[in-house]
Amino acid sequence: MDTQVIRSQQAAGFRRLRFSQELEPRYQEFRASVVRDRARLVSAAGLMLFSSFILADLLLLPAELASVTIAIRLWLTLPTITVVWWLSFCHKPANILFEHLYTLAYLIGGLSVVAIIAAARVRDFPLPYEGMLLILMFGYFAMGLPFFAVSIASALIIATYVAAELATGHPVTPLLVNLFFILTANTIGMVGSWLSEYRHRAHFLDQKLIELLHQSAKEESEQKGRLISVASHDLRQPLNVIALMLDNLSQARLSATHLSLIQRLQRTVGHFRQLLSNVLDVSRLHEGMVCPQNEGFTLTPLIGQLIDLTVDQAAIHRITLKQDTIPANLRVHADPDLLLRVLQNLVFNAIDHSGGRNIRVSANQRGDTVRIEISDDGGGLDDRIKPDVFKPYIRGEHGPDHPAGLGLGLAIVQQLTQMMGGRCGVRSYPTQGSSFWVELAVAPPPDETAATADAAGDVPLRSNPSAVPD
């Protein structure tokens, strides 16, 4: 079964309450399972209802008639309902067979009411026919039986009632009046049952369509996850090789023209690596592959790692990267890998787009938060884009030495910062540069000093355990 089959069925309609050969068995099994669940409550209600009728028989009927009606209820009606209630909790019979037994129980219940009315007629007691109306409404609405099954069972009950009335000598005229009201109630029940099953079938199609679309989306997401993981490795590896070769060439004794060309290639490769990282990061975020693992750690080693990872790229652009003195005991509560990615993006953003010659990294404690700032001495942000600078695809001006990006770096910064429970912002004034900041919670002092592992190279976003590794 696929979405095309379901959409074709929805387009064709099902006024006859039948699906195509491929869908109908699936629906019948689905309906039977629903009927089984419903039967538990309906059977319990039926037991209480018919047990109360036994008390009513004792109080309202003559003793001779009451002995017959109570016997019918005790030895036929109540045992049948009890068996259905018990079977509804058993693994056997199968759902389809249980639905047939459930319909049979309705028929037996209706015939027991006919038997009680006939017993009253034989003893010339004016027992009303309202019990017939009750049993019909119970079958059509309370029990939730399929339209065709309950209609046939109801027709058999009504036919048996008419035959019993005629056999006991009930006058024709009162019988026709009773039959008019019974048939009217039956018609109402049939219409209600048809509408109920029609809605139920429509719900079944919608539910199956949603399940298939959800499964398709899940499979597509898994394929995207595998593609992202492959791209993270296969695309970055040749870029790293090219960057290493260019770095070696830059150390060679070449002419000024060749060195200038190599530096331009280094800037281009660095820019492309950053674009690739941003695209992969955004894909991971959209696919839910990023799962922050916040912990308390000392900030100084991470800032040192940040400088090591970005100083070469800054040097290629002839930018000086500086670090202010940061308190040795300053601790932050965040995901170290994600925070490093956030700060990398801010530094690369300043390198590529600020137009300044100096970038400064600083951090300080403000109450119960730690603010980390990446400041530059560039031209500042355009007032037109400043309010939206953290939105995706917002890009500032760029020149030949600073090619345009995708406008994703700062959007990633905001998303990752929020995922770690922090916030970010910017202060910028024309010709005075910009200062991008990230605020995160202060971490309490550790019970014991933990060793900090050194890291090198580009740091990918940490994925959750269900994601495909790089």
DSSP states of 197-250: HHHHHHHHHHHHHHHHHHHHHHHHHHHHHHHHHHHHHHTHHHHHHHHHHHHHHH
Q: DSSP characters for 407-439? A: S-HHHHHHHHHHHTT-EEEEEEETTTEEEEEEE
d(CA 374, CA 437): 6
Low-confidence ranges of the chain (pLDDT < 50): 398-400, 448-460, 463-470
Burial of 235 from C-beta contacts in 10 A (0-12 / 13-18 / 19+): middle
**Confidence (pLDDT) at 96:** 93
In eight-state DSSP terms, residue 128 is: -
DSSP string, 265-317: HHHHHHHHHHHHHHHHHHHHHHTT-B----EEEEHHHHHHHHHHHHHHHHHHT
Give residue 461's pLDDT. Answer: 54
Give counts: helices (H), strands (E), the chain: 13, 7
Q: What's the pLDDT at 91? A: 84
Q: CB-based contacts of 284: which residues, under 8 Å, 6+ apart?
A: 228, 290, 461, 463, 467
**What's the pLDDT tens digit per position in 169-224?**
989 999 999 999 999 999 999 999 999 999 999 999 999 999 999 988 888 877 76
Give me the pLDDT at residue 64, please. Answer: 93
Q: Which two tokens stand for residue 116?
A: 């009680």
Token pair listed for 355 = 């137009």
What spatial distance separates the first Cα and last Cα of the chain, rounded to whole Å? 34
Among 198, 201, 278, smallest CA distance to 232 is for 278
Q: Do residues 216 and 2 lie in contact, with contact meaning Cβ atoms separated by under 8 Å?
A: no
CB atoms within 10 A of CB 148: 14
Which amino acid is located at 236 in the chain?
R
Q: How far apart are CA 39 and CA 54, in angstroms?
A: 22
Rounded-to-integer distance, Cα 113 and Cα 468, Å: 65
* pLDDT given for residue 466 in this prediction: 37
Measured between alpha carbons, how far is 148 from 153 in angstroms, rounded to an integer?
9
By three-state DSSP, how is residue 367 classified? coil
pLDDT given at position 456: 39
Q: What pLDDT does 65 receive?
A: 94
Give the separation between CA 235 and CA 238, rounded to whole angstroms.
Answer: 6
